[in-house]
Amino acid sequence: MTEKLFVFDLDDTLIDNVHDYAQPILDATSLIVEELRSKAPHVTRIINLEQEIDSRRVKEINPQTGKPFLFSMDRFPGSLVEVYRYICKQAKINPKAQTEERLFAIGLKAFDEQRYGSNIILGAKTIVDFLRNQGDVVVLLTKGDKSVQRKKIMALGSAHINFDNICVVETKNFKHFQQMTNFCFPPCQKWFSVGNSYESDIAPALEVGYKGILIPVETWEVIGKMEEILAKVDREKCFVFGDLFEITEKYEML
């Protein structure tokens, strides 16, 4: 019987993702200031607006699909456009279609697949190889736009980081973690979910009997909330590690 199952998150756990959005946000801010000049709010306000609007749009309906945007590729570029429209409305200025097109194109740069290979987090291959050499089952469970996530998964494959199973979903819930345990045959005795987000990667897994391995990263979803999040971590069911290497260092205690 295989002893352990490890379910890994992808973004900001195995591949750096949070900073892919930084340059597009800065470029969009620069374009808005360049066009609106004195009518534009301070750059810090523009950046905060992007955060507010993009967070809100996760649950808004995409008119193209009739479904919530969630973590689809269209959401972020469209959010930059919505920031511009909001500022124009506040300044009583008609937004320009050409500027909206430029902003959307800027937003798409966040998904430049040329960066994915270099964004692989230090230790990712070492840790995955270590676990598989122990005879453990190692799977990847990631949420997001399938076309984007597949390119990141290809980058992992090119780096010879391999998994026993891979699943891409729109949003994670306890059922997905249950499915991962059902994948194992013979069944594993211990189950672990490894990720950077307590709410998304750990909490749903705990519901079905997993232990958590949280490696915190302050992404756009949790800016300013890290202390609050760490305070509610169930330390009896979840380890909090500083990096991936702690998995090997503390493997015997898992």
What DSSP line would sit under 87-136, residue for residue? HHHHTT-PPPHHHHHHHHHHHHGGG-GGGTTTTBPTTHHHHHHHHHHTT-
Tell me, what's the pLDDT at 3? 87
Q: How many CB atoms lie within 10 A of CB 218?
A: 14
Structure confidence at residue 196 as a pLDDT band (50, 70, 90): very high
Whole-model pTM over 0.85: yes
Rounded percentage of the chain residues whose pLDDT exceeds 90: 85
Instruction: Give per-residue pLDDT as tens, 136-194.
Output: 999 999 999 999 999 999 999 999 999 999 999 998 999 999 999 988 777 888 999 99
Q: Are 33 and 221 in contact (CB under 8 A)?
A: no
Instruction: Give per-residue pLDDT as tens, 228-254.
Output: 888 889 999 999 999 999 999 999 999
Tell me, what's the pLDDT at 197? 92
Instruction: Give per-residue pLDDT as tens, 51-66.
Output: 999 999 999 999 989 9
Structure confidence at residue 93 as a pLDDT band (50, 70, 90): very high
Region 29-44: mean pLDDT is: 96
Q: Quick one: angle between helices 97-108 and 75-90, nearest 10?
A: 140
d(CA 110, CA 106): 8
Reported in sequence order, the residue ranges of the chain that DSSP labels E, i.e. its strands, are 4-8, 61-62, 67-68, 137-143, 165-169, 190-195, 211-214, 238-240
